[in-house]
Amino acid sequence: MKLTRRKWFVLLSCIAVSMLWITGASSALIQSGRSLYAKIELFSTIFQTIQDNYVEETDPQALIESAIEGMVSSLDPHTTYFTREKFEEWNQNFEGYSGIGVYFDVIRGKITILSVISGGPSDKVGLLTGDRIIAIDGRSAVGIKRDDVPLRLKGPRGSTVNILIERKGWKNSRNFSIVRDDVHIESVPYAFMVQPHTGYINIARFSMTTGKEFRDALIRLDAQGMEKLVIDLRQNGGGYLESAVEVVDQFLTGGKCIVYTKGRIRDSFREYFSTEQTIERDIPVIVLIDRASASASEIVAGAMQDWDRALIVGENSFGKGLVQGQFPLKDGSALLMTTARYYTPSGRLIQRSYDEKTHEQYFTEIFDDDRREALENDQSRPQKYTLILSRKVLGGGGIEPDIPFTVENDTLSALMRRLVYAPERFFFTYVDQYMKNNLGDRVDFNEFLRSYTPNGSNLQKFLSYIREQGFKISNHEFVENKEDIQFFLKLTMASIIWGEEARYKVQMMRDRQLMEALTHLPASEKLVKNSYSYKGRK
């Protein structure tokens, strides 16, 4: 086996060098081929020596994968090799998976459903938030490790899984037979009216369905009287370039360049233009970004900025201007390899420099305030101008917002972190057991959002509950953290009673960046009017 593997490496090298001769290559190219052969033979020898003589037995596949990862790591920071398992996990973020459609945690040894994906397999059979899965296909699931849950619940589309459910109020547990189906992870999870006449759309990722999801959201909000819009791209690390183009296409008249790509080979040059499918030709738009907004998010923000179509508010974006091609391999692994750079309509390459930096330095420097400030104040960044109003914009380091606005994240005390992230999930279990049935049927959500604050007896009951569960907290500590405790109780109540969108709306009450963005909608309206007025003079 080992000898055969070595011969295989040598044979590949011989074939490579022979091809150079067959194609009539120059002597310099032949010499290069011989050098390449020597290096491959050296690799084979080292591999064989490790297999034969290393102090401990080694896994040959792991050694080969390490060699591949080492080779890839010498390229740019965004070229990545995925094993089959990692590729499947990565793919789920953009294409979904086949399973039962729930979000869960393991609380007190039992799989507890935190939310049910609307329209998914579990929703169709009537599973609810708070249900506990105590057996899967006849085998107990009590005491299961969290990482093992997906292995037992996911499976091929159309296959059946039988689960035993325990629910508060039931005398006995009940069995549910669920047919697994494709579970789509929405890329536009939230779209609603954030205030009268103002729509809000959050894009979490750019998947294959983002364009349609976004267009559908616009149509729904238009029907509700939307006259202004905030697009939230914060924490959106990107995805499919084509989906970003489809989003921008909703705001530009036909024939305008949205993005173009250039690389080493001829096929890497591509231009993407707007069509006549525009829905919102003149609605004022704010695009909200932060330092984690990357790739496809920067395509959207860059195109909207370059065409003077929206005001960009927030933090300087990540700075990823590289396009990855997806190359699936026979064993199920995959190579995500940079094949081109992309440019905004004004000609900006927004890629941050990664020369002479480790991958760790490259990925972490944007979260270091001092290094980030130095990047943003770099006078060597190339200057371009927007295409209608000739406003100055910068390349070479992400999308610089028209209106910079950074806030310190709300930090929790050490005690609150222990309380919120405890394995017992105290807020969830308390609300699920004691509060949801005392509020849900009597309060309208909008009234709840506007005016409800847990206090008095509810707070005292929560304090007694967590102490009974063994959480140590003094009266003084409880009072010190009262506002945060009230907030997390309200957040959890919204989630359990009305669902994830309600939870998100409560979360937004602490979102100072969003609140700031809303104040700049009049300036965005002025930008649109100036842009149309200027085009009219031309």
- Residues near 192 by Cβ (< 8 Å), separated by ≥ 6? 199, 200, 221, 501, 505
Four-residue CA torsion sign, 427, 429, 434, 438: positive
Q: Are 115 and 103 in contact (CB under 8 A)?
A: yes
Question: Hey, which residues are catalytic here?
Answer: 295, 306, 320
Q: Are 116 and 122 in contact (CB under 8 A)?
A: yes
The pair of structure tokens assigned to 407 is 């806030």
**Nearest-angstrom CA–CA distance, 251 and 254:** 10
User: Given the structure tokens 């002479």, which residue do they identify?
Assistant: 356
Q: Are 506 and 522 in contact (CB under 8 A)?
A: no
The pair of structure tokens assigned to 236 is 């959106």
- Amino acid code (one letter) for 25: A
- Amino acid code (one letter) for 116: V
Assign 3-state DSSP to the chain and report helix, strand, coil percentages, each to 5: 45, 20, 35
- Residue 283 — left, alpha, or beta (φ > 0 → left; ψ -120 to 50 → alpha)? beta
Which residue, 38, 159, 50, is CA-closest to 100? 159
DSSP 272-336: EE--S--S-SS--EEEEE-TT--THHHHHHHHHHHTT-SEEEES------EEEEEEE-TTS-EEE
Instruction: Go through 13-48 and write b for each residue having 16 or more CB atoms within 10 A of its CB, e for each that does not.
Output: beeebeebeeeeeeeeeeeebeeebeebeeebeebb
